[in-house]
Every structure is written in structure tokens, then in C-alpha cells.
């Protein structure tokens, strides 16, 4: 029969790779728990409207990349990112009534219909944090610090933190109007996506990866305009305080005035962390402040900030770790005794396995040497004498001890 294959842009994570994934997950648990973030697990599918309203319907994610389907006359979507779902839960579960701040972290698969390439899949994984209820830049600093600590704890370096401030609605609308004015004469030269962005969200044009658009944006007048300070006094103070905190924390950053991020909900602080060791898919973390999203999704006005990181890209940066061997492999000609011993060892929280088909001892030893550190030998003599022979499979040292002694040693 014809074989069925995994879908394009999806991957099996194999046993040989899982050790790295578990390492990343354990570091996430430690790092974020230590920083007082609580893990939250939201459903993998949600109402489509959550993303069209939350992520924004001028974004690539909503326009081109969503896996949406109908069920019982409802439009549902496999989540393309985590923030909208966490905000939905924050509102639905009434977390806004609890003392601020409320800090969450999450991990799990996300789905976007994109062109698969190294570090870009259709089902991929993210970890992220969402910090609700504090508008002061101390929150921004702590969120960026937590992202950096997580990456440090993974042993990653050669990373660059880029930051920018998009300002608030007020100062941004001023910037947007002027940006449109200055882009108008060049509009014909921009790509089709940017022509649409021009009306819906012109800021996003700054982030276009199309070569002609990028060239147009380096024109002197535009460059000068982008580099000009447009944000209002309050936003500027927020941004200056954040930079001061980052300096004090010794977090190196670059200011990138073209950093706008691909989602509609950001305001004030936006940031990205890039690796110098990945090719074109070099962004490993993206985040920012979204002070209006909770309200947009039907909750009370609540300032918030968060980030998400791509685990496939982190994985490309982490050396493949070696899977650990079993503590014991039991060698026996008596299946029942082997089963009993394996059970006993496991109940003492040691890892163990045995040969299920009762092969010859030489075969069992070959298998043991491959998978375990010690062989426990239960031959006829050992069973008769209530003893056990232990062979160190790394040094080949072997000795026989009383069964009761072995139990004590566990
Ligand atoms: P990119 O510019 O690479 O498309 P993005 O801005 O769309 O990234 P975000 O939505 O900010 O990405 O998601 C945060 C992180 O998730 C990214 O920095 C990246 O590491 C990872 N990521 C996003 N899309 C994918 C994907 N299709 N496959 C693998 N990882 C992804
Ligand atoms: Mg993208």
C-alpha cells in the first residue's frame, strides 16, 4: 500500500533528538518559575475571530498563514501564536481581578502556513511569557531580562538584542501620517503587500523583506525621517528609563528604528533577539508591549508585555546532547525472575530493562553493552544462592554479591 508521509513543513521529533527538547523545556521551567511566571496551557485551536481581532487582520499571519477550518458552522483556527490565547484566558478566567502583576509563561506548537525552510516550519514550537498589569518600564526590563536569562541558561551566546519604541497611539498616528506622506511618491515601486500595508498599517512597510522595498527605504529622505525622534515626551521617558535599566543590568542592545514587528498589537517597546550563527532565519525571539490588546479582546484596559521564542531555531544553536544510558540491563535465562528484578530496580527509581525474548546470554550481553552502564546477571547459580552478579559494562569488572546487599545499595 502507498506510504503516508508527514505533511510538508511538519517534522517528527525523534527519540535521538528529544534530549535537546527536554533540555530546553527543563531550562524554561526553571528560568521562568524562578522569575515568578506561572505556566499556562491554552487550547491549540480557538475561534478564528480571536486571531483576526487579536493579531490583526492586516498581518501576514492572519491574511495568509492561518490554518482555519469550519466545524458546525463555526470558524476555528489552529493557533498561529500564543499571546492572543493567553489574553483570552486572562480575560475569561478573571485574572484581571487578581492582584497585579499576573505573569504567565507557555510552551507548545504553533501553526502557520509558510514556505518551509531551515528554521521555518508550518508546525513549529514556541516558548513565551506574558506579563499583565504593569505599565512601568521595570516590567519591560524584566521581560527582556528573562528572555536573556533563558538564552544564557541554555548556554547560547553570540546574540544581539534589538530594541525600539513605537510610541503610543497618539504619537504613532502622527508618525504614520508623516510616513505615508513621505512614502507616497514611492508607492508605485513598493511590492503588492506594501501597497496594501500603506493603507492598513504603513509602519509595517519598514519591516518588509522585499529587496526593492528595502532599497526604497534606504533613500536619504526616508532614512532621515525614520531616524528622527517622533515619540511623545511620555513615551520617550518610558523608553529612556528602559534603556537605563538595560544598561544597569549590563544587557547589551542595539537601537533599531526600523524594528516594528509583524503583529498589529504592539505599542511602545518592541524588541527582537537575533543569533549571529543562523542564516536568514536569524530571529529567535520577538516581543513587545501591547497595552491595548486586553481591551481589544473584551477585557478591561490592562497594560501588558511579552515575548515568544522559536524552539526549532534554538535547537539549531544547541549542540546535540548524548542520550543517557540505562542504569541496569538484566541478563537472565529466567523471564519471571528478570521481570521481578526489573520491577524492583525501577521502583527504586533506577532505569532498567531486560531481554524479553530470552535469547542466549552472549546476545543479551551484546544488547546490555549498547544500552546500559551495568549488567545484572541472574543465572541459575545466582538464583539458587540468592546472589546477583554485577558487571560494570564500561570497565568489564564483575563481582557477585548477596541479593539483599544489592537491594540495600539501590
Ligand atoms: P520571522 O520574521 O522569522 O517570520 P516572526 O516575526 O514571524 O519571525 P514571531 O511571530 O515574532 O516571528 O514569533 C517569535 C519567534 O518564533 C520567531 O522569532 C521565530 O524564532 C519563531 N518562528 C516564527 N515563525 C516560525 C516558523 N514558521 N517556524 C519556526 N519558527 C518560527
Ligand atoms: Mg513570520
Which pLDDT belongs to residue 275? 93
Does ligand 1 have an atom closer than 6 angstroms to the CB of 114?
yes
Ligand nearest to the Cα of 204, by number:
1
Which pLDDT belongs to residue 336? 94
Structural domains in the chain, sorted by start: 15-168+231-317 (3.30.930.10), 326-409 (3.40.50.800)
Does ligand 1 have an atom closer than 6 angstroms to the CB of 264?
no
What is the DSSP code (8-state) at residue 325? P
What are φ and ψ of residue 352, in 5° steps? Answer: -160, 155
Does ligand 1 have an atom closer than 6 angstroms to the CB of 315?
no
Question: How far is Cα 166 from Cα 203, in angstroms, rounded to an integer?
Answer: 9
Rounded to two decimals, the pTM is 0.93
Burial (0-12, 13-18, 19+ Cβ within 10 Å), 144: buried
* 122-146 average pLDDT score: 98
Does ligand 1 have an atom closer than 6 angstroms to the CB of 11?
no
Q: Ligand 1: distance of its center to the CA of 138 in Å?
A: 26
123-132/159-165 β-pairing: unpaired
* 149-156 average pLDDT score: 96
Hey, which of 84, 286, 290 would you mutate to test ligand 1's pocket, going by the most ligand atoms within 8 Å of its Cβ?
286
User: Among 230, 282, 287, 344, which residue's Cα sits nearest to residue 118?
Assistant: 282
Does position 263 have pLDDT exceeding 80, yes or no? no
pLDDT tens digits for 273-320?
A: 999 888 888 999 999 999 999 999 999 999 999 999 999 999 999 998
Q: Count how many Cα atoms sit within 13 Å of the Cα of residue 214 in the half-sphere of its side chain.
A: 5
Q: Which atom of ligand 1 is nearest to the CA of 122?
A: 27
User: What's the pLDDT band for 206 if we cut at 50, 70, 90?
Assistant: confident
Burial (0-12, 13-18, 19+ Cβ within 10 Å), 236: middle
Hey, which of 308, 311, 316 would you mutate to test ligand 1's pocket, going by the most ligand atoms within 8 Å of its Cβ?
308
Q: Is 17:25 a contact under the CB 8 Å cutoff?
A: no
Does ligand 1 have an atom closer than 6 angstroms to the CB of 354?
no
Does ligand 1 have an atom closer than 6 angstroms to the CB of 126?
yes
Does ligand 1 have an atom closer than 6 angstroms to the CB of 310?
yes
Q: What angle do CA 154, 158, 164 make, to 5 degrees?
A: 100
Question: How far is Cα 212 from Cα 235, in angstroms, rounded to an integer?
Answer: 32
Question: How far is Cα 9 from Cα 358, in angstroms, rounded to an integer?
Answer: 42
pLDDT tens digits for 336-371?
A: 999 999 999 999 999 999 999 988 999 999 999 999
Does ligand 1 have an atom closer than 6 angstroms to the CB of 112?
yes
Amino acid at each position: 500500500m502507498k506510504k503516508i508521509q508527514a505533511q510538508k513543513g511538519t517534522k517528527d521529533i525523534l527519540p535521538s533528538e528529544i534530549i535537546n527538547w527536554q533540555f530546553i523545556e527543563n531550562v524554561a521551567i526553571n528560568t521562568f518559575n524562578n522569575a515568578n511566571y506561572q505556566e499556562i496551557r491554552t487550547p491549540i485551536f480557538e475561534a478564528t475571530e480571536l486571531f483576526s481581532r487579536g493579531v490583526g487582520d492586516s498581518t501576514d499571519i492572519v491574511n495568509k498563514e492561518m490554518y482555519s477550518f469550519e466545524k458546525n458552522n463555526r470558524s476555528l483556527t489552529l493557533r498561529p501564536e500564543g499571546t492572543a490565547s493567553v489574553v483570552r484566558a486572562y480575560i475569561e478566567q478573571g485574572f484581571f481581578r487578581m492582584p497585579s502583576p499576573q505573569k504567565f509563561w507557555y510552551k507548545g506548537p504553533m501553526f502557520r502556513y509558510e514556505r518551509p525552510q531551515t528554521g521555518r516550519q508550518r508546525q513549529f514550537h514556541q516558548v513565551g511569557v506574558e506579563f499583565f498589569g504593569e505599565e512601568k518600564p521595570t516590567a519591560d526590563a524584566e521581560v527582556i531580562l528573562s528572555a536573556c536569562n533563558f538564552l544564557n541558561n541554555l548556554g547560547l551566546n553570540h546574540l544581539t538584542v534589538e530594541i525600539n519604541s513605537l510610541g503610543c497611539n497618539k504619537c504613532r498616528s502622527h508618525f504614520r501620517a508623516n510616513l505615508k506622506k513621505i512614502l507616497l511618491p514611492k508607492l508605485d515601486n513598493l511590492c503588492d503587500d506594501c501597497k496594501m500595508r500603506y493603507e492598513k498599517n504603513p509602519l509595517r512597510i519598514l519591516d518588509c523583506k522585499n529587496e526593492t522595498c528595502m532599497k526604497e527605504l534606504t533613500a536619504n529622505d526616508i532614512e532621515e525621517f525614520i531616524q528622527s525622534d517622533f515619540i511623545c515626551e511620555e513615551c520617550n521617558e518610558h523608553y529612556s528609563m528602559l534603556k537605563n535599566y538595560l544598561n544597569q543590568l549590563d544587557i547589551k542592545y542595539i537601537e533599531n528604528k526600523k524594528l516594528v514587528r509583524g503583529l498589529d498589537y504592539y505599542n511602545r517597546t518592541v524588541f527582537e533577539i537575533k543569533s549571529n550563527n543562523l542564516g536568514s532565519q536569524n530571529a529567535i525571539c520577538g516581543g513587545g508591549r501591547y497595552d491595548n490588546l486586553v481591551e481589544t479582546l473584551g477585557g478591561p484596559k490592562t497594560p501588558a508585555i511579552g515575548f515568544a521564542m522559536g524552539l526549532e531555531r534554538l535547537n539549531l544553536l544547541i549542540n546535540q546532547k548524548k542520550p543517557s544510558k540505562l542504569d541496569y540491563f538484566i541478563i537472565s535465562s529466567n523471564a519471571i525472575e528478570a521481570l521481578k528484578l526489573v520491577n524492583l530496580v525501577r521502583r527504586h527509581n533506577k532505569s532498567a530493562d531486560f531481554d524479553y525474548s530470552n535469547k542466549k546470554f552472549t546476545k543479551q550481553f551484546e544488547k546490555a553493552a549498547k544500552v546500559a552502564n551495568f549488567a545484572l546477571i541472574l543465572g541459575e547459580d545466582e538464583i539458587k544462592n540468592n546472589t546477583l552478579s554485577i558487571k560494570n559494562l564500561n570497565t568489564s569488572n564483575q563481582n557477585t554479591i548477596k541479593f539483599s546487599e544489592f537491594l540495600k545499595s539501590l
